[in-house]
Structure 1
Amino acid sequence: MMSLRTLSRTAPRAAARLSSAPAAVRSSMLTSSAARPATFQAATGLRSAALTRTSVSAFSSAAARRAPANEVDEELSAKLSSEIQFEKEIRENEPEATSVKDFLESGLFEIEDVPGREEVVLRRTYGNEKITVTFSVADLANYDPELYDEDAALGDEDVEGGSGRKAEETGAEDGEDLDGESGSVPCRLSIVVEKPGQGALSVEATAQDGGLVVDNLYYYKDAAHAHEATADAAHEAQREYPGPAFGSLDEDLQVLLDRYLEERGITQALAVFVPDYLDAKEQREYLGFLNNLKTFVDA
């Protein structure tokens, strides 16, 4: 589940600005101005503009003289230090999630997580197959609960049955867990299963609330199209017919494809691991961002 720390940073913030003059007063001012002769308005406008320029110039010069050098820099640096200390304390007091520890210790996948990058990649071999699973911390930063709940509601109306590992297996219903709390952040997975000279399967899935749902499954004769590592590969992939929507396949075929992926390590353990790992990575990346920002300000 998404931590309160993460929610507090990803929640949308809105600030409403109210005009200092009441509507009636503004209306009266406009009416009075419109009733004045054009010559008077023009003369008044010239004097007003001259006064405004003089006032702004005087204010800017006075403000520049009064403000001590680097005052804002020092305040910003102090605030960043406070935030860094706060994040470090949270990190020290939050033990590593059991799901993350157990998954990494299983050794089923090798993990590639470069500090400063959003994407995380898991790799493994299965017989002669190369399997990669890619997910991104951007899913936490861009998560909007209201938009997702609307999309989920539409999806429930359009789709019945379908892929096996869904909410009923986790006891979740209507975006809530067993305790009635909001569900975890949906994390998108890009899964590629490729065989030498045989192309690749590209699977789009979503991990949430301990369940894994296959959204789409495609086949590409050229494995490079499944990875879309370059602009040319992505362009060529768009020109191919990769197959129908996963939910439109025969239900028995969907179940067998689910089992096919499970045998390759795309399991419930992975579905639990990904959101927990991303939550911890988001904290590490945010702390790194704060440190980099403070170094820049202090330079």
Structure 2
Amino acid sequence: MLSLRAFTRSVPRFSRSVARTSLRPAVLPKPAFVQPWKQATKPAYAAFSTSSVFREPAGEGDAELIAKLEEELKHEKASGVEDAREQQASIDYTLQNGEWQAKDVEGEQEVVLTKKFGNETVRVTFTVADINNLSEDPMDELHDDALGDEGEFQNHQNKAENEDEILPPTFPARVNVTVEKPDNGALLIQAVIQDGDLQIEEISHFANADVANAHTAEKDWARQSLYAGPPAENLDPELLAFWGRYLEERGLNLEFQNMVTDYIAFKEQKEYVRWLNNVRKFVAA
């Protein structure tokens, strides 16, 4: 069956063919009882029926590209099914246990989690783009570090006897945390989660909560022009520790931090499968 795009392309050709052939009865002498439209219909129908021309790909390599995309799509759908199921269950449990509401729009990179804490509205945003920060296999780094020092490698083995498993290093996941209070603006806390550790980078206060969230380019520009506070590394370590407790009480505990990295990996995989399917359909159309 012809696709809509191929059919649309065929319409102008069909019209021009009819226009040309319909002129022939006017210049050729024919008996009055012969209906000219039969002569016009026959070649036009023959030209339209050769649909194989419209099914051929635009480029010579299109067929091979489509086959490769289908192969990759089939592989991605088949692999990691059990891991994805476990990740989904873990994510759902953490969100429900922490009373988080998730805004996860298909096709978009950003995920927004919100919850109420007293009279505060806590919002956490992160993006699947952060998974690209992992340029190398984390297991390679763990393997190289262990083999670099035989004594250190022995320590890893000893620890493995006392632990169920050694988790590999994870990619750095950047999170923006906003805490809003009615008529008091909002705090914006920028942090990075990696290997079960939340590192605060900057803490800012804005009188206008919309500036803290910065959903538009204008608000983002306005936020950049305001004093954002000192880098967190310049703060007193004890003060920084209290900020860590502040976030933990609002739900950003170790379980939540591990969930964020799992969520990014889980969503990125879903979006990749969706991307494969969309581009395959586009090339094949």
Note whether the superposition's TM-score is higher than 0.5. Answer: yes
Distance 1:142 1:256, change over 3 A: closer
More deviation in 192-201 or 240-249?
240-249
Q: Say if 2:205 is the partner of 1:216.
A: no
Q: Residue 279 of structure 2 aligns to a residue in which SS?
A: helix
**Correspondence for 2:282:** 296
Q: Percent identity?
A: 38
Q: Say if 2:94 is the partner of 1:108.
A: no
Amino acid in structure 1 at the alignment position of 2:258: V
Q: Deviations over 1:20-72 (max 9, x none)?
A: xxxxxxxxxxxxxxxxxxxxxxxxxxxxxxxxxxxxxxxxxxxxxxxx95352
**Correspondence for 1:121:** 112
Alignment of 1:223-238 (within 5 A): 223-238=209-224
TM-score (normalised: structure 1):
0.62
CA distance in 1, matches of 2:81, 2:168: 26
**Correspondence for 1:84:** 73
Q: Deviations over 1:131-182 (max 9, x none)?
A: 1100000001243359xxxxxxxxxxxxxxxxxxxxxxxxxxxxxxx97775
Equivalent pair of 1:99/1:272 in contact (CA under 8 Å): no
TM-score (normalised: structure 2):
0.65
> How far is 1:84 from its partner?
0.9
Amino acid in structure 1 at the alignment position of 2:123: T
CA distance in 1, matches of 2:136, 2:176: 22
Out of 183, 193, 201, the position equivalent to 1:207 is 193
Matched residues, number: 202
**Correspondence for 2:19:** none
CA distance in 2, matches of 1:180, 1:228: 39
Q: Say if 2:269 is the partner of 1:283.
A: yes
Q: What residue ranges of structure 1 are gaps of 5+ in the alignment?
A: 1-67, 147-177
Out of 199, 202, 225, the position equivalent to 1:239 is 225
> How far is 1:108 from its partner?
1.8
Q: Say if 2:44 is the partner of 1:72.
A: no
CA distance in 2, matches of 1:96, 1:263: 26
Out of 236, 242, 267, the position equivalent to 1:250 is 236
CA distance in 1, matches of 2:95, 2:220: 31
**Correspondence for 1:65:** none
More deviation in 242-251 or 287-296?
242-251
Alignment of 1:129-144 (within 5 A): 129-144=120-135
CA distance in 1, matches of 2:202, 2:192: 10
Amino acid in structure 1 at the alignment position of 2:73: I
**Correspondence for 1:7:** none
Equivalent pair of 1:99/1:269 in contact (CA under 8 Å): no
Question: Aligned Cα RMSD in Å?
Answer: 2.3
Larger RCO (CA within 8 A; separation ≥ 6)? 1
> How far is 1:85 from its partner?
0.7
Amino acid in structure 2 at the alignment position of 1:112: K
**Correspondence for 2:257:** 271
CA distance in 1, matches of 2:274, 2:268: 10
